[in-house]
Amino acid sequence: MIAKIRMPKLSANIEEATITAWLKNEGDKVRKEEPIAEVTTDKTAFEFESPKAGTLRRIVAPVKSNVPVHYVIALIGSASDPLPDVDPENKTLMTEHRARAETSRKTQPKKRSSGPRARVRATPAARRLARELGIDLTDVAAAGDSEIVSEEMVRTAAKP
């Protein structure tokens, strides 16, 4: 029986990893817990060990592939077993992963410089109005989704 070898969830905050090298080729015999690939995350690099013994029948994720957790990266089994079609399953996982990443990117506040020399980009009218109303432009900039604070953004921030 063919085993689907999936990218494991390595830690709570790791959602994807990159295949940096395959240590085995298609057709090679693989022992259980034998390193078959090198994988890199944004935190670490490690050797991925095979959870099953058998023949590496198909490498699904080529080198330099950036894949989400649970993505089928390889198929291992006996040479006589028919190979399952994992492409639709992987495509669905990749689509969901990209959608989550896009949503996460949109909902995270924009990174702004901080510290005593931090300067918020704002129109002169927005700066004048913020001074008059006693509003901190840093707060207005952090709440908005524009790179330059406008007078309208300051007025919106002033509303209770």
SS3 of 137, please? helix
Tens of pLDDT, residue by residue over 42-60, are: 778 889 999 999 999 999 9
CA–CA distance, 15 with 38 (Å, rounded to integer) = 17
Task: Give which of 76, 77, 53 is closest to 6, Cα–Cα.
Answer: 76
What is the token pair recorded at 95? Answer: 């689509």
109 or 20, greater pLDDT: 20
pLDDT at 23 over 60: yes
CA–CA distance, 134 with 29 (Å, rounded to integer) = 71
Whose tokens are 């005593």? That residue is: 116
Q: What are the phi and psi torsion angles at 68 (to 5°)?
A: -80, 165
Where does the chain show beta strands of DSSP type E?
A: 3-6, 16-22, 29-30, 35-40, 45-49, 54-59, 66-68, 72-77
What is the token pair recorded at 26? Answer: 């298609």
CA distances from 126 to 108, 112, 136, 156, 159 (A): 24, 18, 11, 11, 15
Tens of pLDDT, residue by residue over 79-130, are: 889 999 999 999 998 888 888 877 766 665 555 545 554 678 888 888 888 8
Cα within 13 Å of Cα(42), Cβ side:
7
Question: Which residue segments constitute the domains of the chain, with CATH numbers given?
Answer: 3-83 (2.40.50.100), 110-160 (4.10.320)
